[in-house]
Amino acid sequence: MEKVLSGIRSTGQLHLGNYFGALRNFVKLQHEKECYFFIANVHALTTHNDPVQLRESVKSVLTEYIACGLDPDVAAIYIQSDLPETYELYTLLNMLAYKGELEKTVSFKEKARKSPNNVNAGLLTYPVLMAADILIHRAHKVPVGKDQEQHLEMARNFAQRFNHRYEEDFFPEPFAFNFGDELVKVPGLDGNGKMGKSEGVNNAIFLRDDDQTIQKKVMKAKTDGGPQSENSEKPEEIKNLFTLLNLVSNTDTVQFFEDKWNDCGIRYGDLKKQLAQDMINFVTPIREKIVDLEQNDALLQKIARRVLKKPVQVLM
Ligand code: TRP
């Protein structure tokens, strides 16, 4: 059976970008394939090195995984640092990864530019550790967002080099995967780029956000002066609002606002109100589960321990 693996870094709370880019696919895939979903707490260390926050984030991502519908009865759910064999493979793969290609990685360049004082070797070899995460299970499919495509390409390269040097077909080549075929990029609310934790608090809608917070963030989202002529092209910030609407609203609602845009009758206030309401409807049941689960440390411990059958090092 084909194997599926994916993970999310534990660097803070998860948001709608994580949900629609990754988690939604995890939840669907778990019933179809042999699935491994983990919490990338070692990858988190490349940029987030506060030990107290790191522990908290591991617990919070685990809670969010379960609240979104990952089922420990059908998928293997674990914490990256609880599978130290990953580091052994990482060491071997490091011998097959070249400084030049690592330095050219888009995510590396971006992070190095953002934090010039913390360009650590772990950041440089981030794609190698990610390849080890995937190859250790010999996974074929990796449900991730569009921003991870380059990392997957590198994982295929490392797998090929390993196979070539040591044993043909030892590792399968892993591919990024999305149910809708195209990889999804979920935009943020500030007009450009993707929804992310580090792009400012108002850019992302977190799965834990309450109704008022969602409303406030959406009402603040960037808009322009409105369409100047019928059927015109949308500027990026408006396109983004429509992309988000598409994710959380029904097709009639989307069509209604598309028509309003096209005949220049659109009122951004109405669009935002609708978007906020549909986001609230979407997030509320997840948030309620998160709040519930978070009280239950014993259950979370049990879930994290389940696959590896040993005490969990980092959870609490
Ligand atoms: N790089 C991924 C991200 O930032 C997280 C990650 C680490 C991952 N290792 C992985 C994703 C292995 C898929 C497979 O979202």
Task: Report mean pLDDT in 10-residue bins for the chain, 316 residues.
Answer: 95 94 93 96 95 94 98 96 95 98 97 96 98 98 92 98 97 91 84 82 94 97 94 96 97 98 97 98 98 95 81 57
Could you tell me the pTM of the whole model?
0.92
Angle at 203 between CA 60 and CA 210, to 5 degrees: 55
**Which token pair is 316?**
């609490």
Q: Which of 26, 133, 147, 177 to mutate to test the pocket of ligand 1 (most atoms within 8 A of CB)?
A: 133
Domain covering 197-292: architecture: Orthogonal Bundle (1.10)
Phi, psi dihedral angles at 162 (to 5 degrees): -60, -50
88 CA to centre of ligand 1 in angstroms:
18
Q: Which residue in 33, 197, 217, 272 is the catalytic one?
A: 197
Q: Same CATH fold, 197-292 and 3-185+296-305?
A: no
- Residue 182 has a pLDDT of 72
Residue found under tokens 């040993």? 310
- For the chain, what are the domain ranges? 3-185+296-305, 197-292
Q: What is the distance between the alpha carbons of residues 95 and 92, in angstroms, rounded to a whole number?
A: 6
Ligand 1 pocket, residues with Cβ under 6 angstroms = 5-9, 40, 43, 130, 133-134, 142, 144, 148, 151
Angle at 73 between CA 8 and CA 53, to 5 degrees: 30
Judge whether 15 and 57 are in contact, CB under 8 Å: no
For the chain, what's the residue count? Answer: 316
304 CA to centre of ligand 1 in angstroms:
18
Q: Which of 137, 148, 153 to mutate to test the pocket of ligand 1 (most atoms within 8 A of CB)?
A: 148
Residue found under tokens 């040591």? 166
Q: Determine the straight-line distance between the first and last CA of the chain, rounded to whole angstroms.
A: 34
**Residue 131 Cα distances to 156, 164, 194, 204, angstroms:** 8, 16, 23, 28
The yes or no reply on domain 3-185+296-305 and CATH 3.40.50.720 is no
Spacing of C-alpha 189 from chain mean position: 17
- Residue 309 has a pLDDT of 62
**Residue 208 Cα distances to 112, 164, 263, 288, angstroms:** 30, 46, 37, 8
- Residue 315 has a pLDDT of 58
Closest CA to 189 of 175, 179, 174, 199: 199
- Residue 306 has a pLDDT of 83
How many other CB atoms sit within 10 Å of the CB of residue 282? 19
Residues 6+ apart with CB under 8 A from 243: 186, 187
Phi, psi dihedral angles at 210 (to 5 degrees): -85, 175
Beta bridge pairs of residue 7:
38
Helix pair 149-165, 106-114: axis angle to 10 deg: 120
- Residue 248 has a pLDDT of 97
Judge whether 39 and 5 are in contact, CB under 8 Å: no
Judge whether 39 and 80 are in contact, CB under 8 Å: yes
How many other CB atoms sit within 10 Å of the CB of residue 105? 20
Angle at 263 between CA 260 and CA 267, to 5 degrees: 40
Q: Where are the beta strands (DSSP E) in the chain?
A: 3-9, 34-40, 76-79, 141-143, 175-177
